[in-house]
Structure 1
């Protein structure tokens, strides 16, 4: 089968779970003998204004880099919505589709994508599959979470009418599409201090009900793109619930299917045994939306209960020091495995309706217990006793006394499930 993926691109220019998953899936498909091409929003050309494709191959994956794509809100929010819904000559996409002749197009994000691409794919009767890695498209912010406020649960205020004051000029957002961006990002991270540990700011209140016509037009633009989709692959029941809440009239076919990763240590049946919990850990960016501050409060209470209790944080390169908590910093696959040997329970207290949370599977696959909030998609996978409504209600004693068995599918099995979606 010939599969054309649209994703964010390759490391080091692009990072994160979407990038990792899409590349793992493509590599597995290539290994199974399928033809794969990745289209991704690429660099900005200072010599030519119109979009065009630059072809090549990286990590054994043929690619078509969309130079001069629409802007990418990767390092800030949208401020000027008109810049994100510009039209272009569809001929560039007609030429790509007629030269590549894909059997299916798998969309992993709408960021940077011109509506004409999907419109032409529909005209060519090519099946379009969309995986819900985040909420960009039904929200101008991928997490639908802004200034400490979760708009998923908000029946009164529309995030589209409230994001403009938090937006960045488009020229700033374009920085992520410069060839030197990975270097700039590394420099910024090295200079980053403990600003994330400023006293937890209160949630923003007093949102507006006034219609922002520019952003409502952008909302319609993305809706027209989503209407071109044939099948939606929800990566969790959480993402399915949110999408159907905000798009109740959509008539597309849907499949709910947990995702996988090549970063997972062990597959198949994983046994999690009863044992005292004397060490807990947080894994992820040290920010509010991931529930970092809630973990710090929980950890302080946990440490105070017993002199043997310890708490760890990892996943961020912020040079921070917190009394009584060990900062393990960033990690790779091997250092994660080594770090988890020190830990009895990982706590993932994400405050947004996270569509999945691959790090939970990666930790579970080492035999480490993981407690998650019910608003995280990965809660589909973990046992009920390890799901909580809030961080405060995590029951460590019950988790410690319990034995659990879970099953984690390898990427090869997940790839087979995805291929079935393509031919459905």
Structure 2
């Protein structure tokens, strides 16, 4: 099959798990003999065509009033204008139409669409492509992509959410199959009124298994945090946990967000070792327990699965897709249930049957079944 995958970012650009998941899927499809073109955007003003691991990659210019992933603080009017343009980005829609005419895909499979817009669905359907969409964030429901604001979850029934999502619901009628990366995110989109007459499935993200057994003594556990060092990811709670357990070693890997000077100071005051960016496998060798006090409704939780597969224990919160993962995988404990870090048991071995639904080949085959219809 000839497949176009669409995602806001693609290798080597990365801000979260979505980019990893899309890259794994693209390269797995190539290994199975399919032709794959990835369309994404980048911070430059010119289109760039390249190839990586057999995947053709097209980076389109961002085509809005500013680069949406810039750390520069913007005034409220600029933000509103950016999001209004992003409801239907005419420039990117035209570029995407040209790509479809050139590539002639059988399948257009969209993922994160912030900065690209849902206009690509309409263009794909115009040329009679089978359109699949996978939600990896909450962009369709609200432009902040997190459904989290001012320290609390946003209601999908609120007026603001309803207004911002209206045009996307209309464009969503061009989608043939909808996929959620957890039952939680799929159900949340259904609750918000999306894809009423569309086929719907849950396909968990593929995660490569790499057991790393390097555990310290029971009374000398090293606790780690990996991901964006932000409030919604619960990094402030990680620092406060460090303050309460001064005899333990606390290590954090990841980058701070904009306006995070206070968080950085909190980390320093809490004696948290800051590594900056660190590859996941390298980080897993430095810690025994992964602590992820996530506050927003994380759709999946790639780091949770990576940590479990690396033979670690995960301490986290009952939010979003993570609660779902705790019913599938062992070694996930909730912070509200833990009174003493030293009482946390060593990880138990994971059965192969528990890993299957995250296996790269298994996940790719699930998508191929959907592509074929």
Question: TM bucket by the smaller chain?
Answer: 0.7 to 0.9
Which structure would you say has the larger Rg?
1
Shift of 1:127: 1.3
In structure 1, the partner of 2:210 is 265
In structure 1, the partner of 2:68 is 73
5 Å-filtered alignment, 1:88-237, equals: 88=90, 92-152=95-155, 157-160=158-161, 216=163, 218-237=164-183
CA contact (8 A) 1:358 1:378 kept: no
2:199 paired residue among 240, 246, 253: 253
In structure 1, the partner of 2:229 is 286
Distance 1:405 1:353, change over 3 A: same
Distance 1:321 1:94, change over 3 A: closer
Shift of 1:415: 1.5
CA contact (8 A) 2:3 2:107 kept: yes
CA contact (8 A) 1:374 1:387 kept: no
Tell me how far apart the structure 1 counterparts of residues 253 and 90 of structure 2 sit (CA, whole Å): 44
Runs of 4+ deviating beyond 6 Å = none
1:314 lines up with 2:260 in the alignment: no
Distance 1:250 1:280, change over 3 A: same
Count, aligned residues: 347
In structure 2, the partner of 1:361 is 305
Tell me how far apart the structure 2 counterparts of residues 359 and 402 of structure 1 sit (CA, whole Å): 16
Distance 1:15 1:326, change over 3 A: closer
Q: CA RMSD in A?
A: 3.3
Shift of 1:249: 6.7
In structure 1, the partner of 2:260 is none
Q: Where does the alignment leave 5 or more consecutive residues of structure 2 unmatched? A: 257-263
Shift of 1:40: 1.3
Distance 1:248 1:134, change over 3 A: closer
SS for the counterpart of 1:106 is: strand
CA contact (8 A) 2:312 2:347 kept: no
TM-score (norm 2): 0.80
SS for the counterpart of 2:310 is: coil
Tell me how far apart the structure 2 counterparts of residues 231 and 259 of structure 1 sit (CA, whole Å): 17
1:339 lines up with 2:286 in the alignment: yes
Shift of 1:138: 0.8
TM-score (norm 1): 0.71
Q: Where does the alignment leave 5 or more consecutive residues of structure 1 unmatched? A: 47-52, 162-215
In structure 2, the partner of 1:50 is none
5 Å-filtered alignment, 1:357-396, equals: 357-382=301-326, 383=329, 386-388=332-334, 391-394=335-338
Tell me how far apart the structure 1 counterparts of residues 276 and 195 of structure 2 sit (CA, whole Å): 44
Tell me how far apart the structure 2 counterparts of residues 55 and 12 of structure 1 sit (CA, whole Å): 13
Distance 1:7 1:83, change over 3 A: same
In structure 2, the partner of 1:85 is 87
Shift of 1:38: 0.8
